[in-house]
């Protein structure tokens, strides 16, 4: 076989791979693997080409099958599905809009014709640039010791679950000087939602740059670490969606561990803000938007959140969706509390879930790269630094 597909890589995901070298150009068909969950969306794999590849050919056709079976897809929005590719020599690059293939039975497949890797070479394809432990390590290295990494427990599979922090402070510091503002952030409760991680990455780089001016900040960068590493999409993943597992008692070991960590954090600061980073459905192209607490259910919390929404919208400019503050009224498989519910009710802390599109913003006028996501994070940091209570 001229080509080989490897999904057994970190954060890898592909199902039902079929390689047809007889088409012109050769076709590599694949589906997103649900990995046992009800929803599928994330994919990420490497294509390797034989060193003595024949026929020679310089193109390959990627075929994403069963588009309408993917999470939150719409038949009229296929053009918004814009995966990324990279070679060992180049950084992630977003593909153009796909060719839409309407099958006689009503299904839709999506195709892209791309440059083939050279004989003996490889390329990676993913829904969105992956972000995992290696990127967290890079962030720590680039910010020269500003962020400490500590395990706060283990995941259900027994891996250490890491929390980053800029300083620990102590409960007695808070007693003496009760105006230490505190920020707690979490990303990847849904493992495949990597735009959220890239935004958080940019935010943390900006807070590191601000040094002592930054609030006491504790972060869980990869909350569902097991799912991240095994390449799950993770939204509504079984046995229990992590972002619905925040009640008393918590329904996942990760939320149990993080709840206890948040209590330690809250003893050391005055919680001013909690942020939870996600990505919406893959067709969304309007820009970044938020889920604040419902104003009917939690009017007091909503009053505390609204000024943050105004500030964020202002700094985000062209990256913000017109419909910026939305109500999470879509049907959920679990109606139990979210991370934001927990932060709000337990610490009276304004808490916001932030949704960053996979590929596009400003109705497609901005094609998002990691650089854009990091810029969004930098702008959020700018708003936090400008509006935190004075220490
Ligand atoms: Zn999510």
Question: Rounded to the nearest whole angstrom, what is the distance from the C-alpha of residue 295 to the centroid of ligand 1?
Answer: 21
CA 391 – ligand 1 centroid, Å: 33
Q: Please tell me the distance between residue 48's alpha carbon and the centre of ligand 1 in angstroms.
A: 32
Question: In which residue are the tokens 């427990």 written?
Answer: 153
State in Å: Cα 153 to ligand 1 middle: 22
Tally of structural domains, the chain: 2
pLDDT score for 53:
62
- 72 and 167 co-located in one domain: no
B/e letters for 324-346, b = 16+ CB within 10 Å, e = fewer, are: bbeeeeeeeeeebbbbbbbbbbb
Mean pLDDT per 10-residue segment, the chain (391 residues): 93 98 95 97 97 79 98 97 97 97 98 95 98 98 97 98 96 80 98 98 98 97 98 95 97 98 96 97 97 92 96 98 88 92 97 98 97 98 88 46
Residues 122 and 171 in one domain: no
* Longest pairwise C-alpha distance within the chain: 74
Structural domain of residue 289, as residue ranges? Answer: 133-387
Q: Is the CB of residue 378 less than 8 Å from the CB of residue 205?
A: yes
Ligand 1 centroid, distance to 235 Cα (angstroms): 6
Is 106 in the same domain as 220? no
Say if residue 120 is in the same domain as residue 201: no
Contact 43, 33 (CB under 8 A): yes
C-alpha 49 – ligand 1 centre gap (Å): 35
Between the CA of 216 and the centroid of ligand 1 the distance, in Å, is: 25
Gap from CA of 89 to ligand 1 centroid (Å): 32
* Ligand 1 geometric centre to CA of 188 (Å): 7
Of 126, 143, 165, the domain-final residue: 126
Write the CA distances from 360 to 2, 96, 190, 318, integer angstroms.
Answer: 34, 11, 20, 11
How far, in Å, is the centroid of ligand 1 from the Cα of 371?
Answer: 21
**At 4, is the secondary structure helix, strand, or coil?**
strand
The domain boundary residue, chosen from 78, 108, 126? 126
The beta strand positions in 188-287, using DSSP E, are 216-220, 270-278
Residues 378 and 262 both lie in one domain: yes
Position 56 scores a pLDDT of 67
Distance of CA 212 to the CA centre of its chain: 27
Region of 57 (left: φ > 0; alpha: ψ -120 to 50; beta: rest) is: left
- Give the residue from 91, 108, 126 where a domain finishes: 126
Assess whether 109 and 140 both reside in one domain.
no
**Same domain as 220, residue 359:** yes
- The CATH number given to whatever domain includes residue 246 is 3.40.630.10
Does 251 lie in the same domain as 175?
A: yes
Ligand 1 centre to CA of 288 (Å) is 13
């Amino acid at each position: 076989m001229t080509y080989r597909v490897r999904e057994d890589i970190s954060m890898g995901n592909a199902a039902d791979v079929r390689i047809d070298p007889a088409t012109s150009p050769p076709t590599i068909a694949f589906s997103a693997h649900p990995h046992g969950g009800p929803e599928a969306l994330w994919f990420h794999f490497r294509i390797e080409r034989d060193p003595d590849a024949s026929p020679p050919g310089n193109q390959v056709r990627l075929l994403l099958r069963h588009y309408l079976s993917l999470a939150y897809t719409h038949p009229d929005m296929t053009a918004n599905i814009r995966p990324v590719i990279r070679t060992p020599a180049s950084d992630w690059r977003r593909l153009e809009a796909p060719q839409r293939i309407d099958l006689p039975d009503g299904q839709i497949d999506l195709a892209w014709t791309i440059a083939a890797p050279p004989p003996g070479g490889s390329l990676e394809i993913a829904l969105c640039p992956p972000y995992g432990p290696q990127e967290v390590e890079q962030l720590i290295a680039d910010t020269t010791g500003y962020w400490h990494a500590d395990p706060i427990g283990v995941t259900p599979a027994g891996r250490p679950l890491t929390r980053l922090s800029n300083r620990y402070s102590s409960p007695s510091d808070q007693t003496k000087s009760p105006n230490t503002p505190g920020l707690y952030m979490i990303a990847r409760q849904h493992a495949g939602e990597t735009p959220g991680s890239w935004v958080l990455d940019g935010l943390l780089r900006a807070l590191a740059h601000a040094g002592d001016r930054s609030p006491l900040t504790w972060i869980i960068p990869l909350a569902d670490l097991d799912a991240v590493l095994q390449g799950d999409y993770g939204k509504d993943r079984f046995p229990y969606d992590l972002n619905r597992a925040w009640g008393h008692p918590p329904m996942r070991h990760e939320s149990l561990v993080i709840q206890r960590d948040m209590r330690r954090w809250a003893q050391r600061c005055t919680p001013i803000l909690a942020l939870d980073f996600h990505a919406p459905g893959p067709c969304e192209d309007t820009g970044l938007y938020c889920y604040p607490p419902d104003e009917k259910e939690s009017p007091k919390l909503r009053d505390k959140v609204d000024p943050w929404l105004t500030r964020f919208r202002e700094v985000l400019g062209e990256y913000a969706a017109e419909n910026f503050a939305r109500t999470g009224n879509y049907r959920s498989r679990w109606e139990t509390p979210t991370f934001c519910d927990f932060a709000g009710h337990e610490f009276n802390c304004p808490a916001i879930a932030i949704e960053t599109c996979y590929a596009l913003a400003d109705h497609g006028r901005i094609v998002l790269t990691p650089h854009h996501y990091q810029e969004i994070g930098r702008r959020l940091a700018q708003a936090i630094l400008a509006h935190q209570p004075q220490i």
